[in-house]
A and B are shown apart, each in its own frame.
Chain A
Amino acid sequence: MSVGAVDITYRGIFQKNLAGVITKELVKAARHEDKIGGTVQRYGDSPERNGIPAKQFSVIADDADSLRVEMTKYEPSNVVVVAVMDDTLTKGVESWAWYGVRPINLNLAPGGTLLVISRRSAEELLELIPRREYAWNLAILPGEPSFGGLWVYNDDGTDYRTMGAVSRVAGDLVSLDSLLAQAASGQDGELRAEQLREGHDSVRAYPVDAGVGAEDTYEPVEMPGWTQMREGLVIPAVPVGETNPLFKKYTTRTARPLVKFDACVKCQICYTVCPDECFIPTPEGHWDIRYESCCGCGICAQSCPVTGCIEMVDEAVFDSNEPLHGVYENNREEYEELRQDKLAKAGGPIPHYGIF
C-alpha cells in the first residue's frame, strides 16, 4: 500500500475538535514509521452545523507523489478505515443539499473496516448499514458518543481509544507502537497510552461478506450540465404547502422526539418553537411529527410543559421516518406498546447530551 486514508465521520461541531485531534495524531504517529501524511477537512461540510454529519480525513502515504494526489481532493481515495463517532450516523449521511442520504460505507475500500463507536451488536448495526458488493469488516468499539462544544473540548479519552482501535484494524497504516511512541512525547503520556491500549484491546471486528447488510437504496445524483441549468443563478421556490424536496435533515438526528399523545394538553408550544417546521396538526388537536424534517434538536421536548409527554429517544432504535400519530389513531394501546418498546430498547429517554 502506498497511500491510505482514515475517514472520521462525525457530528458537526459537537465532534469537530475530536475529529481534529484524531486525524492529526494519526499522522503524527505515522511519522514514527517514516511515513508522510496530512489531514483533509471536507470543505463541503464547512462551515459545520451542529449535528449535521461531517468528515475529516487522515491521509498516510509511503511516498510524496501518492500524498500529493490525495491532498488536492475533497475526499481522499482508498479509505481503509471509516471511523464513525456516533452510531446513529450508520443510518446514512446527508451533509449537503442535492446529494441525498449517502451510505456510511459508500467510499469504504474493499476489505476496509467500518469502525463504529457503539453499544449495539453487529447484528443490530447491520440492520442499518447498507450492503456492499465486496467484503468488508465491521468493527465495534464499545462506548457512548462523545459530544463536546466548539470551545469546550470533552476530553474523555474517546480520541485515543479510537486511535488505538484504528491501529488494531489497520495496523499496517499506523501501528499501536507508533501511537504509543507519539503519545509518550506529549502531555499525559501514561493516560494516553492506557486509553490507546484500551481502545486497541476492546475493539471487536466482524467480517462482513459481500451482499450482507441492509438494503442499499442510495442512487447517485445526476448533475446537470451548464446548458441545463437556469440562467441568473435562479432556482424555484418550494411550492406553498410543501417542504424542500432536496434536503431533509433527518441524518442530523441522534435522538428523536417521541410523543405520548395521551399526555398532550394541546398547548401548541412544540409547534410554535420548532425551528424546523416539523409539527403537523391532527384533527383532534395533537401535533404529529414529520420525522423526515426533524433534526432532533430537542427544543420541543425541553419546552413541553407536560413531564414525559415529549421525550428524546435514541435514533438508532427507529427504522422509519413515518409520522407516528397514525399508529396512535388506529390503536392507542398498540401505540403505547410501541413507545414503551422503543424507550426500553434505547435504555430510556436521553436527558441531555451536551456538556453544558
Chain B
Amino acid sequence: MAAPELTVPDLEINRRITILPLQEYYTSGHRTCQGCESALVMRYMAKVAGPRTLVTGTTGCMYVANTSYNSTPWSLPWAHTQLGSSGSSAIGTSAALKALMRKGKIPDERINVIAFCSDGGGGDMGLATLSAAMQDTRYNLLILLYDNESYANTDIQASGMTPWGAVTAFTPSGKRQRITHHRWKKNVPALLMAGHPTGRYFANTSSGFGMDLMEKVRTALDMDGPTFVQTHDPCPKGWDYDPRMSHELAVMAVECGITVLWDCLEGELRYQGISRQQVEGKLRRRPVADYLRRQGRFAHFADEDIDFFQSRIDEMWEDWILPGVLRVNQTPFGPGGSRG
C-alpha cells in the first residue's frame, strides 16, 4: 500500500503542520478515555512513520483500550507483545527482517520497526529490554515510551514514573499517612542516554507539543540503529481532571519545568522550545502549584508537599549541569556549569 498523497491545506498559520500527511494510520474507533493524550501520541507516531512500518505494543491502555477483539484502530500492522517486552519485540522483529532480507527471503527495503511501551511496561518491568535494545547497534528500531505516569489500564497503580506523592490505587492518601508514594520519578530517557553511548538517538517530548513529538519520532526513524523517544501524556482518568484540560496540562508540565523537551542526537544534547528558553534564561518557570492544583491525584497535597515538589524541580534546573536531564552537580574540574 502506497502512502496517499493527501496533505493538509497550505495555510498561513502554523505552516509546519502543512508538511504532514493528512493520512491517519492510527484511526478513529479506539476505546480510550475522553481526552486520552496517549492515543494522540499513537496517532502522531503512526502519522509520521507512514505505511512501511511495523508496530508492536506492550500490554497497557494502548493495548486493551485500542484493540479489543474483533476491532482495531490500526491501519499499520500491529502486534501485541508482553508487558516487559518492548525491547525484545523490537529486536526480534528487526532481526527477522534483517535476516530475511539478507537471505533474499523477502524484498530488501526500509521498514520502520516501532515498539511502544508504557511507563510501567518500559520504565519498570521492561527496563532491561530497553537497555538491551539500545545496545544492539545492528538493528534499526525505535522504542516509544508513552508515559502517562501510572499503570492506567489496571485502574491506576503507581509505577516508577508516577510523580512523587501522587494518589494511585496502590498509594492512597489515608488518615494516618497523607503521602504514600515516596519514590521520585525516574528519568528513563536520561538513564538510557547516560548508560548507552552507542544508542543513536534519545528524546524526551510531550503530547502537548505535537510538532516537536513528530519531529523527534521522524528523526529517530531516520537513524540507523537503536533509538528511544519518551512522551509525557496527561491521563484524565488517573490524574483526575476534566478531559478537556489534557492538552493544557501537557503544556503546563513543560512550563513548570517538570517535563523537559530535549533530545540527544549522536551524543549532542539539545533543548527545544519552552525548555530551551528556560535553559537560556529567557523564560521563567511557572510555579508547579499551577500544575499540581489542577489534578485530583494531588488534591491531598498540603502546602509543604507543594513546596517540596517545587524544591526538587528547582534543584534539577539550578544545580544540575544538564538542567532537567541529568543529576550531575559537579564535574571533576570543579562546580558545574558556566550558568552560575
Contact = CB atoms under 8 A, between A and B. Distances in A.
Given A97-B68, A237-B72, A238-B74, A299 B35 contact: yes
A246 B71 contact: yes
B167 A151 contact: yes
Interface of A: prevailing SS: loop
Nearest to B155: A47
Interface string A279-294: 0010001000010110
Given A151-B296, A268-B8, A299-B244, A277 B27 contact: yes
A235 B33 contact: no
Interface stretch (A48-56, A167-175, A200-208): A48-56
B156 interface: yes
B240 interface: yes
A39 B15 CA distance: 55
B112 to A, nearest CB: 16
Given A268-B13, A275-B35, A244 B30 contact: yes
User: Chain A, interface size: which category?
Assistant: 35 or more
Interface in B17-73: 17, 22-37, 39-40, 43, 51, 64-65, 68-73
Nearest to A296: B34
Contact of A237 (B33, B77, B242, B243): B77
Contacts of B156: 150
A297 interface: yes
A244 B35 contact: no
Given A51-B34, A285-B11, A149 B296 contact: yes
B120 interface: no
Nearest to B156: A150
A95 B37 CA distance: 20
Interface of B: 1, 4, 8-9, 11, 13-14, 17, 22-37, 39-40, 43, 51, 64-65, 68-78, 153-156, 167, 210, 236-238, 240-248, 294-297, 299
Given A297-B244, A303-B247, 14 more contacts: A47-B64, A49-B31, A151-B296, A238-B29, A238-B73, A241-B4, A247-B68, A268-B11, A268-B14, A272-B14, A272-B17, A293-B29, A298-B243, A302-B245
What are the 6 tightest A-B residue pairs by CB atom distance, in nearest-first order? Answer: A244-B29, A354-B242, A298-B244, A97-B71, A293-B28, A50-B33
